[in-house]
Structure 1
C-alpha cells in the first residue's frame, strides 16, 4: 500500500524539532525509518507531518562514562554491533540485514517498541535507562517503565528519546539467542543473558525475554534457580524450564503459543551454555 499524504519537515536542530513536535501532536519523528515507514505503508498511523531528525549528528555517539555506556538515540545498529558493548553489541548484530543495521537506529527501535524486536530483551536484562528530551528539559527513566505496552513507549507529545544508558558489565559472560524463520526476521523468541561467576558459583545473572509477552520481561524464576549455585547440567535444565514461567506468547503464523514457550526453554539453555564458553 501507499502511505497517506503528510507534510515533511526538516528542522535545523533538535530544539526546532522538539518545538514542532510539541505544536503538532500527531507529527512523527523520522530517523532511520525502518520502524516508521512500514507502519505508514500499512496506514496503521496517519500523521499530518513527518519530522526528519536523522541528520542530527550530535545524537549519534557511543561514549564510556565511568561504569556506563551512553549511546545517542541516532546511533545505528551497525555502529553498536561494532562497539564491543557486552550483550548489546551481539544483540545489534542479530537485527535485520546489513541495510537495516546501517540505517536503523536504537532510538527509533525502542520508540517503536515492537514486541518482537531484539533490543528490549538485552535492555531489560541490562537495567538500561532511557533519556527523554523535551523543550523544558530532560528526564531519565528505567527501560522497564519506559516500555509501557506493545507499541506504547513512555513518550508524551513533544518528547524524543535522545540517549540510552547501560552499565558496562565488566567481567560478565553474555549471549543473545534468537529464533527466526529467516535471517533478518523479527524474533519468534529472543533470550538475552548476562552471567557473572565467582569461581564456579554464579554471583549475578540476568535473563531478558522478547517476543513472548506484550513487552520484554525478566525471567525471574530462571534467575532465582541459578543465583548462588554451582552450574551443572541439572541446574541449567531447571533454570531453562523455569524461564518458561515468564513467557506468555500468543499463537500466530510463526508458531503456536506452546511451541514458542518450549523454545524459551531451548534458547535459555543455549544462552547459558554459549555464555559459559566465553
Structure 2
C-alpha cells in the first residue's frame, strides 16, 4: 500500500527543527523511518507533514566523556553495533537486518517506544539518561521515567531527543531474546547489567505495553537468591496469537535465567 499524501520538510539544524515543530504542531519527526514508514504505508499513521532530521550531523556519533558514553540520537544501529558501548552493540545485532541497521537510528527507536523494541530494555538495565531539547531549553530524563506507555515516551510534542548518556563503568551485561520469526521484534527480551559496586539492574520488553524493570529479580539478587520464577504477573502482560500472556510470563523467567548465567 501507499501512504496518504503528506508534506515534507528537511531540517538543517536542531534549532531549525525545533522552530519548525513550534510553528507546526502537526509535524511528525522522521529519522531512519523504519518504524514510521511501514505504519504510514498501512495507513495506521497518517501524519499530514514530516520533518526529516536524519541528516543532522550534530546528532550523530559516539564519544566518551569521563565515566559516560555520549551517543547522538541519529547514530545508526550499524554504528552502535561496531562500537565499544556496553550492552547496546549486542542488542543492535538483534535489530532487523543490515538494511534496517544501516538506516535506522538508536534515538528514533528509543523515542518511538515500541513495546516490542529491544533498546528500551537495555536502556533500563543500563540506567541510561536521555537528553531532550525543546524551545524552552534542555532537560534530562532517566530511563526509569522515559517509557510511559505503548508507543509513548517522555519526549513531548515540540521536543527532540538529542542524545543519550550511558554509564561507561558497567562491569558486565547480557541480552536474551525470543523473537518473532518474521518481524524479528521481541516476543520477549530480557536485559541485565552489573553496575559499578555490584548492583544488577534488569528489564524486559515485548511482554507488556512498555519496557519495564524486573524489580522482583533485582530484589531477589540483593537477597542472595540465584534462581527465581514468577518474575512478572501474567495478568499485566500482553497476549496475542503469537504468545499468550502466560507464555510471555514464562519466557521472562527463562530468558532472565539465561541472561544471569551469562552475566556470571
TM-score calculated relative to the size of structure 1: 0.89
Could you list the per-position Cα deviations for residues 108-164 of structure 1 after superposition, in whole angstroms to 9, with x for gaps in the alignment?
A: 111211100000101011111111112232111112212111111122222111111
Name the structure 2 match of 1:72.
Answer: 72
Name the structure 2 match of 1:222.
Answer: 217
Task: Answer yes or no: is the 8 Å Cα contact 1:247–1:264 preserved in 2.
Answer: no
Pairing 1:264–2:256 present: no
Secondary structure at 1:100's aligned position in 2? helix
Task: Answer yes or no: is the 8 Å Cα contact 1:94–1:184 preserved in 2.
Answer: no
Displacement of 1:243 after TM fit?
2.3
Alignment RMSD, CA only? 1.9
CA–CA distance in structure 2, aligned partners of residues 245 and 127 of structure 1: 23
CA–CA distance in structure 1, aligned partners of residues 35 and 130 of structure 2: 18
Name the structure 2 match of 1:176.
Answer: 175
Displacement of 1:195 after TM fit?
2.7
Pairing of 1:99-248 with structure 2 (within 5 A) = 99-170=99-170, 172-182=171-181, 185-195=184-194, 203-227=198-222, 229=224, 235-238=225-228, 241-245=229-233, 248=236
Task: Answer yes or no: is the 8 Å Cα contact 1:97–1:184 preserved in 2.
Answer: no
Could you list the per-position Cα deviations for residues 51-104 of structure 1 after superposition, in whole angstroms to 9, with x for gaps in the alignment?
A: 111111111111111111111000011111111211122111111111111111
CA–CA distance in structure 1, aligned partners of residues 2 and 144 of structure 2: 35
Displacement of 1:252 after TM fit?
0.7
Could you list the per-position Cα deviations for residues 233-276 of structure 1 after superposition, in whole angstroms to 9, with x for gaps in the alignment?
A: xx4322xx142349832211211111111111110111011222
Pick from 226, 251, 275: which aligns with 2:239? 251
For structure 1, which runs of at least 5 residues remain unmatched after alignment?
Answer: 230-234
Task: Answer yes or no: is the 8 Å Cα contact 2:234–2:249 preserved in 1.
Answer: no
CA–CA distance in structure 2, aligned partners of residues 158 and 145 of structure 1: 19
CA–CA distance in structure 2, aligned partners of residues 150 and 252 of structure 1: 15
Q: 1:247 to 1:97 in 2, by over 3 A?
A: farther
For structure 2, which runs of at least 5 residues remain unmatched after alignment?
Answer: none
CA–CA distance in structure 2, aligned partners of residues 56 and 260 of structure 1: 39
Secondary structure at 2:186's aligned position in 1? coil
TM-score calculated relative to the size of structure 2: 0.94
